[in-house]
Amino acid sequence: MCVRKPIETLAIYVSEGHNFRGHHGGVPGTHPIIECESAELVAGKGIVGDRYFGFKEDYKAQVTFFDQAVHNEVCREFGAGLLPLGYRRNVLLSGVDLNTLIGKQFAIDGMVFQGTEECVPCHWMNDAMAHGVEDFLKGRGGLRTKVIEGGTLRVGPGTIEILGSE
């Protein structure tokens, strides 16, 4: 039996280069984050055009998700002008608690993902967003996933199915 519920994909972000990974002790990179209306997802690889596309075999963060509700909390705590692209997660969703998807397979409009782990916030969050955001996001930094079945993800309303749920 599957649990199915409505969600909304609010934004899709890709960047072809790393601004923070590999920059520890130095300055961030300058690769722009591009907001897309849709993105092509490939099983076992991730989002076409993103810095983690085909990064390494069986990579646990082929596509990353962030929760709009958590972003709203960050804005209330640190300032309303913060933009969700600063988290450098690929997909901004509303309608599901991402932590409930860790260790589970789920489908969004026919694409299947394996939730692998939380996107643990790093010290760069304090630079990219606001001082204190790293600690504030612990336990709710987003979701890392593997793409099991690909397709085209689009901004807009959709459905999430948690596969194999009772």
Which pLDDT tens digit goes with each residue over 57-95?
Answer: 899 999 999 999 999 999 999 988 888 988 889 999 999
Cα distance between residue 98 and residue 10, in whole Å: 15
Confidence of residue 3 (pLDDT cuts 50, 70, 90): confident
Q: What's the pTM value of the predicted model, to 2 decimals?
A: 0.89
Long-range CB contacts for residues 41-48, cutoff 8 Å, separation at least 24: 41/111, 41/147, 41/150, 41/151, 41/152, 41/153, 42/147, 42/150, 43/147, 43/148, 43/149, 43/150, 44/146, 44/147, 45/147, 45/150, 46/147, 47/12, 47/14, 47/90
Give the domains, in start order, of the chain with CATH numbers.
3-14+32-162 (2.40.33.20)
Q: State which amino acid sits at residue 27.
A: V
Confidence of residue 49 (pLDDT cuts 50, 70, 90): very high
Which range, of 15-24, 55-64, 108-117, averages the lowest pLDDT?
Answer: 15-24
Four-point Cα dihedral 22, 28, 34, 39, nearest 10: 20
